[in-house]
């Protein structure tokens, strides 16, 4: 009889191990993306809402992806900065530097 008890205990451990492994596998379920399709707004952290809206409008007008347009605008801004045509004047505000020291100026 002791052999049967050991086998039962081993089966229990095996079953528990299989269950743990099954739970740790990533889900194969497809994500429901209907909300994203209905609400295509893109949010860039730290970018003023008015600027985001303008980028979205331009992207729609030209039928291009918002991310591509944002990347192109960043490239153009870097070119202007490198030429010295885009001055940046960071100012100290609340212990850190900002390019928007006046409330409502850009944000």
- Mean pLDDT in the chain? 80
Residues 79, 103 contacting (CB under 8 angstroms):
no
pLDDT at 62 over 90: yes
Q: How much is the pLDDT for 57?
A: 93
> Which has more pLDDT, 106 or 96?
96
Q: Closest Cα partner for 66 from 89, 48, 43?
A: 43
Residues 55, 69 contacting (CB under 8 angstroms):
yes
């Amino acid at each position: 009889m002791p052999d049967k008890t050991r086998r039962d205990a081993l089966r229990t451990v095996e079953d528990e191990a299989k269950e743990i492994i099954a739970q740790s596998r990533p889900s194969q379920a497809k994500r429901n993306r209907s909300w994203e399709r209905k609400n295509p707004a893109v949010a860039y952290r730290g970018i003023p809402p008015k600027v985001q809206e303008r980028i979205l409008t331009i992207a729609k007008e030209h039928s291009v992806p918002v991310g591509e347009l944002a990347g192109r605008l960043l490239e153009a801004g870097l070119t202007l900065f490198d030429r010295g045509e885009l001055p940046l004047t960071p100012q100290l505000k609340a212990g850190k530097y900002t390019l928007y020291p006046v409330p409502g100026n850009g944000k």
